[in-house]
Amino acid sequence: MNEKTWLARSAAFFAGDSEPMAEAGAVAVIGLGRFGGSLALELAKHGVDVIGIDNDEAVVAEYADRLAFATRADATDEVVLRQLGIDEVSRVVIAIGSDLEASILAASRILKIGCQHIWAKAISETHGEILHQLGIKNVIRPENDMGRRLAHLIRGHISDFLPIDDDFVLARTTPPVRVADVPLASLGVRATYGVTIVAVKRAGSRQWDIADRDMTLYADDEILIAGHPREVERFSELDKDTDN
Ligand code: ATP
């Protein structure tokens, strides 16, 4: 897509405000490093028009054929951002990490321009705090989030782990022996263990079914549970004593 098409598209794309980012059309990704680059390619793979911006010519060249539009620009320069049409953009990802000054400046410029939906990567707690204080609501800490997730996976009882918030996660695990073979209604899982069983995948099936009270879980099922990370962890480890 050339610049003209992108500009022609931008008003329509960026007009919406309540839809999830990837469903709304194009997304501007600023900083095509490892994180920004793989995010941009993943979005592009799913049919999203991605506008990639980086101040390194060689990086831009690498993405030129793979994104809807890629351009070399300094994201800390408000005039340049406006020339690029970022003032019409309501969905932006700032994926500049190690250059703290550039990240903060770009964030403040984009906020000033008036973009409503901004995701910004932080590489430290302080960096994240500064971005929050500036007014960025969605601060991502990829290394941290991945580290937390991996810690749960490596410990073995959870096969997938998705932190939704500090106090709420989704985890994929197997039913502990003490909740298997009896209808869920008779167990009071939420009251006893503080977690909710959200969905069940039967052994050999490819399909997840929403859990309901009349269901009975079996040891070879997979389940998706939701709750506070501490309770989710505790629940997924109920068989630990019997494992050893
Ligand atoms: P990675 O995602 O690779 O871990 P990182 O966290 O180290 O990256 P940086 O290297 O700071 O982040 O930045 C990622 C990308 O952002 C780089 O390709 C860099 O060229 C680009 N970048 C840095 N400053 C700016 C800027 N002012 N304007 C546009 N792009 C920038």
Residues with CB under 6 A from ligand 1: 30-36, 53-56, 59, 74-76, 95-99, 102, 106, 123
**Whose C-alpha lies nearest to ligand 1, atom 22?**
31
> Which pLDDT value is given to residue 49?
83
pLDDT at 4 over 50: no
Cα(9)–Cα(178) distance, integer angstroms: 56
Residue 28 one-letter amino acid: A
Q: In what order do the strands lie in the sheet with 27-30?
A: 69-72, 50-54, 27-30, 91-94, 117-121, 138-140
- CA 219 / ligand 1 centre spacing (Å): 47
Atom of ligand 1 nearest to the CA of 36: 2
Residue nearest to atom 19 of ligand 1 (CA): 31
Lowest mean pLDDT among 2-6, 129-133, 234-238: 2-6
The pLDDT-based confidence of 18 (bands split at 50, 70, 90) is very low
Region 192-216: mean pLDDT is 94
Measure 39 CA to ligand 1 centroid, in angstroms: 13
Across the range 196-213, mean pLDDT stands at 94
Q: How confident is the model at residue 25 (pLDDT cuts 50, 70, 90)?
A: low
205-214 own/partner pairs: CB under 8 Å, 24+ apart: 211/184, 212/184, 213/183, 213/184, 213/185, 214/183, 214/184, 214/185
Q: Which residue from 88, 110, 80 is spatially nearest to 11, judged by alpha carbons?
A: 88
Atom of ligand 1 nearest to the CA of 99: 11
Name the residue at shortest CA distance from atom 10 of ligand 1.
98
Nearest atom in ligand 1 to the alpha carbon of residue 105 is: 27
Question: Cα of 135 to ligand 1 centre, how many Å?
Answer: 21
- DSSP labels, 32-100: -SHHHHHHHHHHHHTT--EEEEES-HHHHHHHTTTSSEEEE--TT-HHHHHHTTGGG--EEEE---S-H
Give per-residue pLDDT as tens, 51-98. Answer: 999 999 999 999 999 998 999 999 999 999 988 888 776 689 999 999
Q: In which band, very low, low, confident or very high, does the pLDDT at 14 lie, cut at 50, 70 and 90? A: very low
Higher pLDDT: 233 or 24? It is 233
Q: Ligand 1 centre from 88 Cα, in Å?
A: 23
pLDDT band at 7 (very low <50, low <70, confident <90, very high): very low
Lowest-confidence pick of 9-23, 31-45, 211-225: 9-23
Q: Over range 159-181, report the average pLDDT.
A: 89
Tell me the average pLDDT of the chain.
Answer: 85
pTM listed for this prediction: 0.72
Give 32 Cα–ligand 1 centroid separation in angstroms.
6
For each of the domains in the chain, give its residue range(s) and CATH number, in order of start.
25-140 (3.40.50.720), 151-237 (3.30.70.1450)
- Confidence band (pLDDT; 50, 70, 90) for 19? very low
Q: How confident is the model at residue 200 (pLDDT cuts 50, 70, 90)?
A: very high
Amino acid 218: pLDDT: 94
- 54 Cα–ligand 1 center, Å: 7
From the alpha carbon of 75, which atom of ligand 1 is closest?
A: 28
Which pLDDT belongs to residue 10? 38
**What is the predicted pLDDT for the residue at 151?**
74
